[in-house]
Amino acid sequence: YYAYVWKGIVGAEPTFELTTYDPNTWKVKGTPISFIKDGNYTDVHLFTYDITTGNVYAFTNVIGTGSNRMLSILDVETGKITEIGEVTTEGIETFIPIVIACDKNGEIYTVAGNEGTYCGSLYHVDKNTAKATRVGSTGLLPARKKMGGVVDMNTNIFYWTVVAADGSSTKNGLYQVDLETAETTLIVPFENAEQMTGIYIQDIAPDSNVPANVTDLIFTPGDAGDFSGIISFKVPNKTVGGSDIT
């Protein structure tokens, strides 16, 4: 589990460190690292893991330069940042993302925190160009704060922890978001206006007694023009836990 921590120091430049935790014990692993570009600390606003590429994508900007939000790839081992480009979209001069999540297909989504017409709109962000395309309105008016977002890899449902712009306890809460329509459903209200970031869904390990994966999976196509073939494989002789199957 990775947490990005802001450390403010009176009379000095603030530092931002990525800390790694063991999710089973919540103890710190290794040494925290900082993201630095061209000698300047870089603020990582939000980040998400892409299971299709193994990349960690984030919205970043270089502190003290007045730069806008960039879509970047983070190297969580070295602190290197690879900028893809400034996040842009039609109708918004300076795009302000307030959440980020990557789905099971490697597609990145965010919600706009800009005031006005597009506030609370769900956007798809192209990983190659950083261009954001509006999916639709969520029907919510979120505050301009960082919020938590995660996609369930089994259902591809996007979950979002919302803090309402007006501070209304009736709108704060954990929401389910349809990635195709932007329609939202309130799951749990946050009656005390809690602000949550860094939410995640822990993978559920299979039962150790179930059979392990098949091996030597082969597909042999039929004759040319024939829509048929033969699939062959070796059945496992071990369970997921390593015991013999009898």
Quickly list DSSP for 179-207.
TTT--EEEEEE-TT-----S---PPPPPP
Q: Are 153 and 201 in contact (CB under 8 A)?
A: yes
Q: What is the pLDDT of residues 75-90, one digit of tens each?
A: 888 888 888 998 988 8
Averaged pLDDT for residues 44-54: 88
Q: What is the pLDDT of residues 222-246, one digit of tens each?
A: 888 788 889 999 999 988 778 898 7
Averaged pLDDT for residues 105-122: 88
| Residue 104, number of CB atoms within 10 A of its CB | 14
DSSP state of 232: E
Q: How much is the pLDDT for 233?
A: 93
What is the pTM assigned to this prediction?
A: 0.75
